[in-house]
Every structure is written in structure tokens, then in C-alpha cells.
Amino acid sequence: MGRAPCCDKANVKKGPWSPEEDAKLKDYMENHGTGGNWIALPQKAGLKRCGKSCRLRWLNYLRPNLKHGEFSEDEDRIICSLFTSIGSRWSIIAAHLPGRTDNDIKNYWNTKLKKKLLELAPFAHLKRPHHAAIYPATANSFLQNSSLQRQTSAYHSTNKNYYTTTPARVFTGGYESMSNIPSNLLEYATSFTTCSSNSSTPTVFQVQEGQGAGPAQNYQFKENYDSFLIFGNEASSSSSDGSGIDEDFGLLSYFGSGVNENQKLTFPANGYADDSKATNGCFPENPLDNSIEEIKQLISANNVCNNLNYSGEEIKTEEQVLYY
DNA sequence: AAAGGACTCAACCGCATAGGC
DNA sequence: CGCCTATGCGGTTGAGTCCTT
């Protein structure tokens, strides 16, 4: 048996709200408020609507002090920074943008901001926005528990268009360490190679499929993504021998052009808008990335989301991770 | 000018959670 | 403590609009 419906669907109007309905709801809300019960509100207000629909209409459209129209550069930065830290927690992000609703921000991100970021990414000329995905703050989850070391990758000796160096370390974290990448995107654990050895530049990961030995090295994109872009800041991790994780992951990015005849996911090395700015194949910092630490602190100080760890990542149980 | 594809965004849906009993 | 219901949330849908050919 399924869940009981929240209202009598047969006697409830759906679809766009008319100005008359808006006026009724607004009038009722201004005079009575919700009365602590959205379900009973439509009847009291003389509306043939579901309580949930009334709530949504009020919160997203009718309530006072809502901001409509273009998002500012500052708002863009805040959204990017928070998305970096906490992912698609739209309601939390909305709490940092007075006058904006979670729905607004979600739509803005999905239709405009994500595209904007992808255009800033390297190889933008190769990207097809609708076949790309952006995921947040995976630096920690990828690297915190791995033994990945710095490695400067080299151009392939015969084909200068591709990096084909083998991974310095095989990353075998599996889903548990990649919890921010939905399992519908990834099929197996991955192997990585980094091409950055410079803490002032972001790091590019090359992902290879089916290389080397070991059961956890197979990697596949699922669904129709040609690429994904990961961005986030990363606390440093280093040791005396110079190994460790670069500081300042302004932007982590990966571009996969598909599986070639060697079953490798590769990316062109000459795809930078301005090659002179690339160091060892790494591209300039993401201009939208800023003050993430401050925002993390703010979140932590305000206890906005108390199931996030110090870096804004959700603390999940093993079960949650496996099915996330 | 028309047709079809792409994009936008308001609204819906179903699940998770909180809180009352 | 367990059940039940209202609320909140994020993902998804689809009608309307805009853009391209």
C-alpha cells in the first residue's frame, strides 16, 4: 500500500496560480498567517488548492521581501562557494542570500550558473553543457584517505594531444571516499593521476579506465555525461618527503571525451584557452573561487547544518554512503 | 514566416524528518 | 518508544517562451 495522499487530489486545482488565487492567499496570510497548519489553510482561505501548493506559492512567490531578477556577482560567488562546501543544499544556500528562495537558486544554478562555470573550465570549446555535470567538494573525499601523491604528468611521447601517464598511486577508495559523486554517475572506483606539483595552481586529475592490476581500477561514466567538473578548496596535507596533497584546490576539473580504443579516458593537453598560463598542464585559478574557509566557518559557527564536518561535507554512515 | 529545438522557471512529486500524541 | 501526520526539501517535470534554422 502506498503513502496516503496529502490532500484530496480530485478536488484540488493544479497548475499555475491565477491572480485571484494569489490575492486570496496573500490576503489570508497577511491577516491570519498559516495558523500553524498549511493543510487546513486552503479551505479556510477559500482556495481549491493543496496545502503544499499554497505553502510553495507563498514561500517562492508571494511572501514579502522576495528578490526577483538577475543574480549579482556577489550572489554568484556565495552560491559557488556554498555549493563547493555543502553541495545542493539549496535551502541552506538560500539562507545566506536574503530574498532568494531555494527554488530560485536551484533553477539559477541548473540553468545558468553551472553553464557559466563550465565555460570557465578548460576545454570549454569541447564541452556540451547538457552533457556535463558539476559536483562539489570532492577533493576531501577523494584525497583525505588516499595515498595519492603529487606527480607531474608528461605529454605522451608519440601523441602530444594526450596525457597518458600512469597513476602515481592507485586510488582505491571506492564509493565510501567518493560519496559526493552520485553513484549513478560512477560505476566503479577509480584510478587517478595528478598533473600538478604547484600549490598555487589547481590540480587536474586524469582518470584512466582499466589500467593496471587490481579490482578497483575500473572506471566508467554512466548516463550521458561527457565530462564533469569538480571544484572545491582543500586543506593541505603534506609530509617531509614532499609527498602529499596540494593546497589550494581552486578548481578541480576533469574532462573525459569518452573511452578511446585503449579504454582510456583522456583529455587533450592543448585545450587551454591560453597555453602560456598552464603549468604542467594545469590551468589558472577559478576566478569565482574565494573565501570558502570563511563561509565554512560561518556555517559551522551558526550550526546551520550540524551533520556536516569541518569542511562542510556531510557525515554519512556507511549505509548512507553506499546508497547516496 | 514557420517549425522545431533549447531554455526557463513555476509547480509538482515523493521521500525524509520533526514533533505531537 | 512507536506511530502518525504535517512540513521541508531536493529532484524532476512540463508549459510557455525564446532562439535558431
Q: Please report, rounded to whole angstroms, the spatial distance between the CA atom of protein residue A169 and the C1' atom of nucleotide C13.
A: 43
Band (pLDDT 50/70/90 cuts) for residue A177 is very low
- Cα distances from A108 to residues A71, A86, A136, A196, A292, in angstroms, run 8, 17, 16, 32, 20
What sections of A126-201 are H helices per DSSP?
A: 138-143
A185 within 8 A of A324, measured Cβ to Cβ: no
Q: Which nucleotides of C are covered by protein (CB under 7 A)?
A: 5-12, 15
pLDDT over 70 percentage in chain A: 32
Inform me whether the pLDDT recorded for A100 exceeds 80: yes
Is A13-62 a CATH 2.60.120.260 domain?
Answer: no
**Highest mean pLDDT: which of A63-72, A154-163, A294-303?**
A63-72
What is the pLDDT averaged over residues A256-267? 26
Inform me whether the pLDDT recorded for A118 exceeds 80: no
Residues 40-79 on chain A lying near strand C, CB distance under 7 A: 51-52, 55
Is the Cβ atom of A6 within 7 Å of strand C at any atom?
A: yes
Q: Please report, rounded to whole angstroms, the spatial distance between the CA atom of protein residue A162 and the C1' atom of nucleotide C21.
A: 36
Alpha carbons A214 and A208: distance in angstroms, whole number: 13
What is the pLDDT averaged over residues A189-215? 29
pLDDT reported for residue A1: 42
Band (pLDDT 50/70/90 cuts) for residue A9 is low
Inform me whether the pLDDT recorded for A305 exceeds 80: no
Inform me whether the pLDDT recorded for A278 exceeds 50: no
Residues 6+ apart with CB under 8 A from A159: none
What sections of chain A are H helices per DSSP?
A: 19-32, 41-45, 51-57, 73-86, 90-95, 102-108, 114-120, 138-143, 292-302, 318-323
How does the average pLDDT of chain A come out, rounded?
49
Q: Please report, rounded to whole angstroms, the spatial distance between the CA atom of protein residue A36 and the C1' atom of nucleotide C19.
A: 46
Is the Cβ atom of A296 within 7 Å of strand B at any atom?
A: no
pLDDT reported for residue A79: 83
Inform me whether the pLDDT recorded for A217 exceeds 60: no
pLDDT reported for residue A5: 57
Which comes out higher in pLDDT, residue A193 or A22? A22
Give Cα A246 distance to the centre of its chain.
Answer: 21
Which comes out higher in pLDDT, residue A9 or A112? A112
Q: Where are the domains of chain A?
A: 13-62, 70-324
Quote the cell numbers at residue A323: 546508497
pLDDT reported for residue A120: 52
Which residue is it, cell 490532500? A7
pLDDT over 90 percentage in chain A: 1
Rg of chain A on CA atoms, in Å: 23
Q: Please report, rounded to whole angstroms, the spatial distance between the CA atom of protein residue A116 and the C1' atom of nucleotide B1.
A: 33
Alpha carbons A228 and A110: distance in angstroms, whole number: 14
pLDDT in tens, A27-64: 998 888 887 788 888 888 888 888 889 989 998 899 88
A40 within 8 A of A51, measured Cβ to Cβ: yes
Give Cα A9 distance to the centre of its chain.
Answer: 35
Residues 6+ apart with CB under 8 A from A155: A162, A163, A269
What is the pLDDT averaged over residues A293-313? 31
Inform me whether the pLDDT recorded for A26 exceeds 80: yes
Closest CA to A45 of A33, A57, A60: A33
Is the Cβ atom of A225 within 7 Å of strand C at any atom?
A: no
Which of A101-105, A126-130, A250-254 has the weakest average pLDDT? A250-254
